[in-house]
Copies of this chain bind each other. A is one copy, B any other.
Amino acid sequence: MSHYHPLSEAEAIEIARSIKEVFPQDGEFVCREIGDGNLNLVFHITQPATGAGIIVKQALPYVKVFGESWPLTVDRARIENQALIKQGEISPGLVPKVYKTDTEMALTVMEDLSDHVIMRKGLIEGGVYPAFAEQISEFAARTLFFTSDLGMSPQDKKLLVQSFVNPHMCKISEDLIFEEPYYDAKANNIDEAIRDAAEANWADEELKLEVALLREKFLVSAQALLHGDLHTGSIFVTPESTKVIDPEFAYFGPMGFDIGAILANLLLNFAAQEHWSADEAARRDRRAYLLNTVRDVWTLFEAKFRKLWNEQGTDRLLGSAAFQDDYMRRLLQDTVGFAGAKTVRRVYGFAHVADIDSIPDAAAKERAQRLALAIGTSLIKGNRQASSIEDVIRIATEAAATTTAAATAES
């Protein structure tokens, strides 16, 4: 850490200039700091003459939220760039290229993806991403399979586990996902309109038992190298392309945590469709698209994962069809449970999602929040009985129908 200091724009440009792969010729550079300033500096550096661009990202040694500042290790930059490199090897084309890293300076120099849009924003604006389910399922299947004992030597895996020990970032997940939403924690951010729903969760022993079991898996189960924060804000998309970014929460954990994060964020957007108060047909269409995407992500993931297992499994002994079926059943159940936990925390936990928070109409926003909570808690409570992705579709569909019926009765 001896040389660490926050990068200036001039320094960022000098680093960019050294990446001959992107900028073979020297010339004028334009630099813009585009980070939100809370966690990282993100410099977008372009060369107007050629149109080429690059990202220089530097971790800051603190996190700023609500005006407060907490220390946060910049080791997360090492985790992030090592994860990006590993994911890029395993799953080429689905993460930004890494051109250069500097551990002391907590730097990652990587591909400019400014032709893509952050998927959360894209979904809020009504975007449709026909390649997404295929590509994100490919990313998840390959990165999870090839970093598990199914797809690599258990001995090499143990060394990889060692290099991705990530206590500070895991602590954030432990607190925000598995703890604070289940009691009256200061850090929760609860809209007064739905406080009764939060309180109901705090008193729900069945729900809390399931959350404790999911949390135990998050703490104990070193199945594979996870992205660790695979929501739609960590995914860049175009209609043809999907790129997963920001794996600073990467660590060896339960696979269902990553797949569950994808599904949860599709379901949060599904709940947010309450904003179409005046156009039931538009809402129905949009929801059908989102649920089809939920179904496709899991179905394609499962098919790809099983194919990798059958064709490239390194582990003779875990190769029986009965074991594989049992494994996939448990993986689906974990996915359902973690999807639920990741849905609930985004409604009244510390950090919300723009899908719901940006709804201007208060009544529609409240309905969206209650719907997301109904889906999330049902997924959590039902996770150990889930036997098919259709269980998730059914839970979302029924909860939405109940919400619509109640809204109609009220109006």
What is A's interface to B at a CB cutoff of 8 Å? 149, 154-159, 161-162, 165-168, 170-171, 174, 178-179, 182, 205, 208-209, 211-213, 215-216, 219-223, 317-318, 320, 322-323, 326-327
Contacts and interface: CB of A to CB of B under 8 A. Distances in A.
Nearest to A154: B219
A219 B314 CA distance: 14
A170 B158 contact: yes
Contacts of A165: 158-159, 161-162
Contact of A167 (B159, B171, B205): B159
A344 to B, nearest CB: 14
A76 to B, nearest CB: 14
> Which applies to chain A's interface (DSSP): helix, strand, loop or mixed?
helix
A332 to B, nearest CB: 16
Copy number in the complex reads 2
A125 to B, nearest CB: 38
14 contacts: A154-B167, A154-B170, A154-B219, A155-B170, A158-B166, A159-B165, A162-B162, A178-B317, A205-B320, A209-B322, A212-B320, A216-B327, A220-B221, A221-B221
A106 B213 CA distance: 40
Contacts of A213: 323, 326
Contacts of A215: 317-318
A216 B167 contact: no
A135 to B, nearest CB: 27
A209 B320 contact: yes
Contacts of A223: 220
Contact of A149 (B149, B161, B220, B222): B220
Q: Which of A156, A178, A222 has the most CB of B within 10 A?
A: A222
A205 B322 contact: yes
A258 to B, nearest CB: 15
Contacts of A208: 317, 320
A220 B165 CA distance: 14
A146 to B, nearest CB: 15
A165 B182 CA distance: 33
The 10 closest A-B pairs by CB, nearest first: A155-B167, A158-B167, A162-B165, A212-B323, A149-B219, A209-B322, A158-B165, A222-B222, A162-B162, A220-B223
B158 A317 contact: no
Nearest to A219: B149
